[in-house]
Structures are given as structure tokens and as C-alpha cells.
Structure 1
Amino acid sequence: MTSTPGTPAAAPAQPTRLAHLDAHTYRDWAAGEHSTVILPAGAFEQHGPHLPLGTDAILSSTIAEAVGSRIDAKVAEPLSYGYKSQQKSGGGDHLAGTVSLDAAALIAQARCILAGFLRQGVRNLVVLNGHYENYQFLYEAADLALADTGAGAGRADGSGPTVLLLSYWDYVSEDTLAAVYPEGFPGWDIEHGGVLETSLMLHLRPELVAMDRAVSHPPADLPRFDRLPVVSSRTPDTGCLSAPDGSSAEKGRLLYEQVAADLGADLAAELHLPR
């Protein structure tokens, strides 16, 4: 496409993913008043016979890109390995296909990445988590990264560097839950390999979902305590804590669009970003 004679051509749109940006463009962008980087965090974890091992990182990264495009933020490459899968939230670290980091390794990795962006002048960092077990270790990493870079004390007017931490499911609204689970939401504690993740993947990456391999079974019935070593028989044979019965790409589209819109609006308001 050519520009009208005498009219300067519009600058090409910058990519949302930082990995697709050159270093000099990144340097100039990071120095801006509103520079915001979203760091997705996932895991390498089994999600039953019908979903891929990278589900958590795929979902957090894809949602991060949708949010980034709304608020002119950039998206870093994801943390693709996460903290140890626990029996009551991910089936357990004993299951084939799950390869995890211990707490010290996850904290160290996230701390270095966050501190690196802060030292290079990035104004805001948003850690978008997609693996339940990661959360407190990402919190520790953010706190230490701020201290490492001298930003931990903050400023009274809130104008200093900022790190926000959230899990994408925190933004699933009650109305969306009612639409996705018309017979009643069973609870976040058993939503592993179930309707939410399966529907999102059917919408976003259907070529990676094998619904012909999905198994219908009752939800996991787990005690209120954690036991170590785990009693492996308490995890359903599929590795899923609930069945993906009723999953659909349409439900995934609803989840994806609602979460991206509400999260983008919340970040823009909290970080005073132009929209």
C-alpha cells in the first residue's frame, strides 16, 4: 500500500511480543512514561489425555497478548515451567508429563527477569499467572526484584515502578461462570483439565485438543489436608480433577473475551495507561 503524495507514511504497528521487537526499538519504548510489560507464567504439567502439557503457559500467554493489544503493553516470553503440581490443584507432581521447578528455582528465575526489566527502565510489570501453584513464589520474586533494583520502598504518590500480580481466572465474572457452567460452578479447586481450560483451548488452539480422548468421570474427592508423599490413587486416572463434559469453543470465546476486556480495563485504570 502506498501513501498519498505529500503525506508521510504511517509508522508500522509494533509487535506486541517483545521477542519480535528489535533491541533499539525496545530501548526507546521502555524509556516511555507508560511502558508496561506483561510476563505470563505457566507450567509444564499434564492436563489429562485431551489437552497438551503446555496448556497453562499457552493460555496465560494468549490472554496476555489480548490484554497487551488493548492497553499498548508488550508481552514477554512466558515462564513455561512452574512450581510443583499439587494433588488438590493439579493432580500431583507424580504424574507423567509434569516437570516442575522447586520454589527456589522459580523465585530465582522470575526475580532475575523482573529485575532485568526494571533496571532497563520499564515502568510497569504485570505478572499474569496461569498455574495455581506458582502464585506465592511469583509474589516473592516480585518483592525481591523491587528491592534488588531500589524500587521496593516505592513513592508516596505511587509514581515509581510497579509490579502487579494476578491469575487470569481471577477475572472470570459471575455471569460468565453461570453461562459456562449452567448446572452450577463446581469450584476452582477441581478445575484442572476441566471445562474452563478445555473450552479456552478449544477456542484458542483447537488443533491441540483431542476431545475424542476426553474421559467423563466424577470430580476428584480429595481430603482437606495435603499428604506427603501423595496417595496416588486419590488422583483420577486421567490426571484431571474434573471432567471436560460440556466444553465448547463458544464457551472458550466467552471466557477469553470477557477476561481480556475486564483485565485490560482494570490494568489501564490502575496504571493510568492511555486507552
Structure 2
Amino acid sequence: MSVEYHQLTTTEARELGAAGGVVVVPIGATEQHGPHLPLGTDFIMAHTVATRAAEQVEGVLVTPPIWTGFSPHHMQFAGTVSLRTNTLMAVIRDVAESLWHHGIRRILFLNGHGGNANMLGAAAQSLRFESQVRIAVASYWNFATEKIATWRQSPLGGINHACEMETSLMLAAHGEQVHAEKATNTPHVVSNPYLGNDLLGAGAVATPWDFTEITTDGTLGHPELATAERGEDLLTAITQGVVDFLSDFKNWDWQDPQTIIGRDDAR
């Protein structure tokens, strides 16, 4: 049975809401990923993870991906398409409110682009406290951070953008779109102790950078370490993490937060 939300009829969509179904909305970006990865890497991988996970959990459907995101920091590189902050926030809100209107009460926005993360969090808060709409938001790599820490072969600075991780995942899932021979070793080395330099090496202070300030070809990391075999290993771990969450998410009851957060029987 297909897990593609857009293949439902209107009758089936009504039944999905009544049955307490889960809808995953993949969201990514269309932006440069160095000379070796396609512009759509972020939304392609978010959709790939979402689909693989939904196929393993009954009652979960996946919408078509939101293919553009917040990418002004990549606009100096050809091919990038970026939404304004207000536009992206409006898209997230409108999609969530539409699904909620039709009875979907378990909505996960699964993100594949770091530039979207803060706005997804802000949109979730706005929806909750201004519209009484509840959503969950997460970036797909957050479901496997422990795995990534032991999986990686690069030092800190090696997993950032079009890097060891993204290149391996794309080689595993969509290898025909990868030009591995064009990948360049461009680690992100930061000596300032307050700033982060890696997916797993966040600093105490965050500040935005234009990518032209920190890389010449759009790559940040060690894509030369990527292989399809390693990518499949990591993709399996990420997918399992999402499967575990979706299995739990199916039972969330927004009307009784303690069933989600956990009860303190000692009180």
C-alpha cells in the first residue's frame, strides 16, 4: 500500500483523520551542494527518510516534500532558490493548519536543511499558542546523533554541508545523482572557541555566515570519505530512529499531555 498522501481520495483523507493517522511533511531546500551533489539534496533526503520510515509504521502517510527553504546564505552560488523568512513561516503554518482542519492531529515536519530548523521551531510555537494547532518538528539526523558520532571517519569540521554524511546518504539512496569524482575535501576548521564547526560540534554562540565567507566551492566537510555502503548503514539507523518515534507519536494525546511527557507517580 502506498504511503503517499497525495494519492488519497478525499474520502480516504477523511477516514485518515478519523482513524488518528499520522502525516509526515518532509521539508528541505533547493540550494547548492558543492560540485558533486544535486541542488535538491535536502528535500530528497528528507522525503527518502520519511518514506522509508512510513513504510514500516501502519497509519503513516507522507506528503510531497516542501522543496524550498530558507537559504539566503547560499544565494551567491548558482541554482539556489530561497524563501523569505515570512514566506517560509507562512507555508509551514498553512500546511499545518490545512491538515489540522481535516482532522489530522499528529503532524511531523521532517526537516533536511539546517537553515530551516529555527523557523520550524518558531512556527511550531506560533501554531500552538496562536492557532491551537499542534505539530512536531525534527531534522532527520537528530534521530541518529549517537550513531553519527561513531560512524563518522572525519574529525570535527568534517560533517557540515555536502559532506561525508550527506554524500554517503545520497550515494546510498540516489547514487545516480552523485558526481563523486568532483567532490572536494573542504573541512570547516574554526579556531574561535565560542563558535561551532560541525553538525556534532555546536558552539555556545551562533551567528549567521554567508557561505562565500567560509568556503570557495560550497562544500564544507570531507565528502571524499563517503561511500554508498556507509551511507546505507547510516540511512538504516536514521530510518529506524524515525520509525521508533512515529510508533510512539501515534499514541500521543494532545488533550492529556502527561501521556506524552510522562507521569510522575511520586507526586
TM score, norm. by length of structure 1: 0.79
Q: 2:44 aligns with which of 41, 47, 58?
A: 58
**Structure 2 unaligned residues grouped into runs of 5+:** 196-205, 253-267
- Residue number in structure 1 paired with 2:224: 245
Counterpart residue type for residue 23 of structure 2: V
Coordinate RMSD, CA, aligned = 2.3
**CA–CA distance in structure 1, aligned partners of residues 109 and 101 of structure 2:** 17
SS at match of 2:107: strand
Please report how far the alpha carbon of residue 176 of structure 1 lies from its aligned counterpart in structure 2 after TM superposition. Answer: 4.2
**CA–CA distance in structure 2, aligned partners of residues 242 and 116 of structure 1:** 39
**CA–CA distance in structure 2, aligned partners of residues 194 and 85 of structure 1:** 20
Q: 1:261 aligns with which of 222, 226, 240?
A: 240
1:202 equivalent to 2:181? Answer no
Please report how far the alpha carbon of residue 270 of structure 1 lies from its aligned counterpart in structure 2 after TM superposition. Answer: 4.0
Please report how far the alpha carbon of residue 219 of structure 1 lies from its aligned counterpart in structure 2 after TM superposition. Answer: 3.2
- Residue number in structure 1 paired with 2:201: none
What percent of counterpart residues are identical? 29
Q: Is the 1:38–1:64 contact (alpha carbons within 8 Å) kept by the matching residues of 2?
A: yes
Q: Is the 2:33–2:218 contact (alpha carbons within 8 Å) kept by the matching residues of 1?
A: yes
Counterpart residue type for residue 62 of structure 1: T
1:89-238 equivalences under 5 Å are: 92-147=74-129, 149=131, 151-152=132-133, 162-179=134-151, 181-182=152-153, 184=155, 186-187=156-157, 190-219=159-188, 221=190, 224=195, 226=207, 230=210, 232=212, 234-238=213-217
Please report how far the alpha carbon of residue 170 of structure 1 lies from its aligned counterpart in structure 2 after TM superposition. Answer: 0.7
Q: Is the 1:45–1:85 contact (alpha carbons within 8 Å) kept by the matching residues of 2?
A: no
**CA separation of 1:227 and 1:81: change in aligned 2, threshold 3 A:** closer
1:29 equivalent to 2:16? Answer yes
**CA–CA distance in structure 1, aligned partners of residues 211 and 26 of structure 2:** 31
**CA–CA distance in structure 2, aligned partners of residues 85 and 171 of structure 1:** 27
Q: Is the 1:194–1:241 contact (alpha carbons within 8 Å) kept by the matching residues of 2?
A: yes
Q: Deviations over 1:101-138 (max 9, x none)?
A: 11100000110000000000012000101111111212
**CA–CA distance in structure 1, aligned partners of residues 191 and 68 of structure 2:** 25
Please report how far the alpha carbon of residue 177 of structure 1 lies from its aligned counterpart in structure 2 after TM superposition. Answer: 3.1
Please report how far the alpha carbon of residue 226 of structure 1 lies from its aligned counterpart in structure 2 after TM superposition. Answer: 4.1
Please report how far the alpha carbon of residue 143 of structure 1 lies from its aligned counterpart in structure 2 after TM superposition. Answer: 3.2
**CA–CA distance in structure 2, aligned partners of residues 187 and 124 of structure 1:** 36
Is the deviation greater in 261-270 or in 67-76?
261-270
SS at match of 2:223: coil
**CA separation of 1:147 and 1:119: change in aligned 2, threshold 3 A:** farther
Q: Is the 1:220–1:236 contact (alpha carbons within 8 Å) kept by the matching residues of 2?
A: no
**Quick check: which has more Rg, 1 or 2?**
1
TM score, norm. by length of structure 2: 0.81
Q: 2:61 aligns with which of 57, 61, 74?
A: 74
- Residue number in structure 2 paired with 1:7: none
**CA separation of 1:231 and 1:247: change in aligned 2, threshold 3 A:** closer
Q: What number of residue pairs does the alignment pair up?
A: 239
